[in-house]
């Protein structure tokens, strides 16, 4: 167990950040699934918001920037192929 006041605070803040990252990551994954199942019009409308979510995750190091780029590329190709 932590012995310093700062270490105890770090444990609390890490848990809060972990839960926030988990929520944002899961929300983004659900949005991606929804986009893949959507029709052309719905997918076109959803794409910018999903791309924004991916960019935010990559900026905060929840996912790797290259993974975000790969997923955005695949989603864009998917929507244009509909």
Q: CATH no. for residue 35?
A: 1.20.58.110
* Total-model pTM: 0.80
Rounded Cα gap, residues 22 and 6, in angstroms: 24
Whole-number percent of the chain with pLDDT over 70: 100
| Residue-level pLDDT at 3 | 82
| pLDDT exceeds 80 at position 1 | no
Q: What angle do CA 32, 54, 17 make, to 5 degrees?
A: 110
Does residue 22 sit in helix, strand or coil? helix
Counting the structural domains of the chain, the total is 1
Give how far Cα 61 sits from Cα of 20, 32, 68, Å: 13, 18, 10
| Domain enclosing residue 70, as ranges | 5-81
Contact 43, 82 (CB under 8 A): yes
The tens digit of pLDDT for each residue in 54-68 reads 999 999 999 999 999
Q: Would you state the pLDDT for residue 51? A: 95
- The sign of the torsion formed by the CA atoms of 54, 58, 63, 65 equals positive
Mean pLDDT in the chain? 93
Summarised one tens digit per residue, pLDDT across range 4-19 is 999 999 999 999 999 9
Place of tokens 């955005």: 72
């Amino acid at each position: 167990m932590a012995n310093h006041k700062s270490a105890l605070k770090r444990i609390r803040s890490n848990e809060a950040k972990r839960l926030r990252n988990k929520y944002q990551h899961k929300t983004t994954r659900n949005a991606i699934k929804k986009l893949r199942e959507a029709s052309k019009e719905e997918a076109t409308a959803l794409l910018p918001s999903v791309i924004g979510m991916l960019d935010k995750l990559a900026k905060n190091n929840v996912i790797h920037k290259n993974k975000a780029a790969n997923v955005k590329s695949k989603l864009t190709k998917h929507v244009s192929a509909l």
